[in-house]
C-alpha cells in the first residue's frame, strides 16, 4: 500500500475512479454508511480559475461509491464569509451533479454546530461534518495570501460556521486551523491539483499541473503539496502545528508514492494569466509535462529566477547535450539541472538559491 497515490491527466472523472480503485477504497466502505464529500467551493467561481474543486473529480468519487452499492451521499460545504454557498453550488456545477446522481447538498452555513475542545481552544464544528460515517475531503492545492498554501487541513474551514471563521482570524488563524485538522479527521483526502492558483485562494492565476492525489494523512499530503509549490513544510505555520498536535506526519524520503501513469503525463497547456505569462519569459519549454512546468512556475514566483538565464524544460531536451540550466531529468544533458521527474518546486527553489549564492 502506498502513502500517496498520484494520477496525471485531463479525464478527471476516470482519473479519480482509478485512484480510488488503486487504493482499494471499496474495502473500507460498508453498504449502510453515510458518506460526506467536502469539496472547496470557497467562492462561486468555476474550477478553471484555480480556486474551486472540479466537479468532475467529485463525480468520479460519487460514481465509485455508488458502484460499491452505497447511496447515502451528501456534498457539504460553506463558502467563505463573503459568498453564498447556494450560488457556489449552482455556478460551480454541483447543483446539476447532485440532481444527476440523487445526492444531497448541505450548506454548512445553515447547519447547527457542536463545541469540541482541543487543548485550550474550544472549536465550533458543523454537525453535518460530524454526522457522517466516512468523510471525503476534496481540497484544491493552491496558494493562499495569509497561510502560504492551502490543501487538506485548511479546506476543513468550510465545516465551521461563518461566526467561527471570523473568530479563527481573531485567534491568529494558524493555531485554530491546525487544531481543526486534529479534531476533524476525514477518512480520505483526494486532492485537486489540476490548476490551483499561484498565490490566492479566490483564484485568478491558475497554474496547470493536471494532477490528482489521494491519501489518508492530511499532514503528509499537505507537506508534500507544500514542497510541490516551493515551500519547506515548516514554512507553513499551521502545518508545523498540526504535526506537533499529532494530526499526521510530514512526507519525506521514506514516503511511498505510487504514480499510476508516470509514463503518460500530459504536456503543458497553460491558460496564461498575465503573471504566469511574465514568469514564462524565464522558461524555454519544449514538450514539458504540466506538473514539471507548474513546479518551475511556482519556484520562479517565489525566487524571481536567475538573472540573465532561461530554464530549459521538457521532453524535447531528452538525450540532447546543451548548455545552460535545466529543470527535470529530461534536461540531464544541460550544463546544470534540477533532478526529478517531475521535480518539486522546493528543490528548484533551493537550487536557484545555491546558484545565486555562487554567482554573487
Query: Closest separation between CB of residue 24 and ligand SF4, Å?
Result: 27
* Pairing state between β 121-126 and 113-118: antiparallel
Give residue number: closest CB to ligand SF4: 328
- Asked whether position 338 contacts ligand SF4 by CB under 6 A, the answer is no
Helices marked H in the chain: 12-22, 55-67, 85-91, 94-101, 127-130, 152-155, 162-170, 174-183, 218-228, 237-245, 274-280, 290-303, 345-359
Which set of grid coordinates corresponds to residue 263? 509514463
**Is there binding between residue 341 and ligand SF4 (CB under 6 A)?**
yes
Taking contact as CB under 6 A, which single stretch among the options 19-27, 88-96, 157-165, 289-297 is the one that binds ligand SF4?
289-297
Cα three-residue angle 79-82-86, rounded to 5 degrees: 45
Residue in the structure block whose three cell numbers are 457542536: 114
Does the protein bind ligand SF4 through residue 208 (CB under 6 A)? no
330 belongs to the binding site for ligand SF4 (CB under 6 A):
yes
> 44 vs 193, which CB is nearer to ligand SF4?
193
Angle at 51 between CA 49 and CA 53, to 5 degrees: 100
Given 55, 248, 305, 342, the residue binding ligand SF4 (CB under 6 A): 342
State the Cα–Cα distance between residues 89 and 98, nearest whole angstrom: 9
289 touches ligand SF4 (CB under 6 A):
yes
The answer to whether residue 233 forms part of the interface with ligand SF4 (CB under 6 A) is: no
Query: Euclidean distance between the first and final Cα of the chain, in Å?
Result: 46
Write each residue from 264 to 283 as x if it is in contact with ligand SF4 (CB under 6 A), else as -, in one continuous string.
-x------------------
Interface residue with ligand SF4 among 108, 315, 345, 351 (CB under 6 A) is 315
Query: Quick one: which segment of 186-194, 212-220, 238-246, 328-336 binds ligand SF4 (CB under 6 A)?
Result: 328-336
**Number of C-beta neighbours around residue 345 at 10 A:** 28
Which residues contribute to the site for ligand SF4 (CB under 6 A)? 265, 288-289, 291-292, 314-315, 328-330, 341-342
Amino acid at each position: 500500500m502506498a502513502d500517496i497515490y498520484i494520477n496525471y491527466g485531463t479525464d478527471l472523472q476516470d482519473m479519480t475512479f482509478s485512484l480510488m480503485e488503486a487504493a482499494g477504497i471499496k474495502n473500507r466502505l460498508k453498504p449502510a454508511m453515510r458518506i460526506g464529500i467536502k469539496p472547496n467551493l470557497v467562492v462561486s467561481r468555476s474550477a478553471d480559475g484555480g480556486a474551486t474543486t472540479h466537479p468532475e473529480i467529485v463525480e468520479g468519487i460519487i460514481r465509485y461509491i455508488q458502484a460499491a452499492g452505497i447511496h447515502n451521499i451528501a456534498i457539504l460545504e460553506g463558502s467563505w464569509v463573503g459568498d453564498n454557498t447556494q450560488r457556489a453550488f449552482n455556478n460551480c456545477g454541483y447543483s446539476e451533479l447532485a440532481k444527476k446522481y440523487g445526492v444531497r447538498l448541505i450548506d454548512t452555513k445553515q447547519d447547527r454546530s457542536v463545541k469540541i475542545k482541543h487543548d485550550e481552544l474550544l472549536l465550533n464544528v458543523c454537525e453535518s461534518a460530524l454526522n457522517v460515517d466516512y468523510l471525503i475531503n476534496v481540497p484544491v492545492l493552491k496558494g493562499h495570501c495569509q497561510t502560504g498554501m492551502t490543501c487538506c487541513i485548511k479546506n476543513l474551514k468550510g465545516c465551521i460556521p461563518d461566526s467561527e471563521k471570523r473568530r479563527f482570524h481573531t485567534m491568529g488563524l494558524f493555531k485554530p486551523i491546525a487544531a481543526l485538522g486534529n479534531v476533524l479527521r476525514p477518512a480520505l483526502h483526494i486532492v485537486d491539483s489540476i490548476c490551483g492558483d499561484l498565490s490566492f485562494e479566490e483564484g485568478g492565476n491558475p497554474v496547470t499541473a493536471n494532477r490528482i492525489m489521494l491519501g489518508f494523512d492530511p499532514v503528509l499530503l499537505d507537506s508534500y503539496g507544500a514542497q510541490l509549490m516551493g515551500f519547506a513544510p515548516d514554512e507553513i505555520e499551521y502545518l508545523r502545528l498540526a504535526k506537533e498536535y499529532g494530526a499526521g506526519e510530514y512526507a519525506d524520503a521514506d514516503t511511498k508514492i505510487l504514480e499510476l501513469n508516470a509514463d503518460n503525463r500530459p504536456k503543458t497547456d497553460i491558460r496564461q494569466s498575465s503573471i504566469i505569462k511574465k514568469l514564462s519569459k524565464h522558461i524555454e519549454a519544449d514538450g514539458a509535462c504540466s506538473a514539471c512546468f507548474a513546479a518551475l512556475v511556482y519556484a520562479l514566483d517565489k525566487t524571481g529566477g536567475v538573472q540573465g538565464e532561461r530554464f530549459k524544460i521538457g521532453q524535447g531536451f531528452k538525450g540532447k547535450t546543451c548548455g545552460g540550466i535545466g529543470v527535470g531529468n529530461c534536461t540531464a544533458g544541460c550544463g546544470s539541472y534540477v533532478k526529478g521527474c517531475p521535480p518539486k518546486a522546493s528543490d528548484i527553489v533551493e537550487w536557484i538559491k545555491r546558484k545565486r549564492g555562487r554567482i554573487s
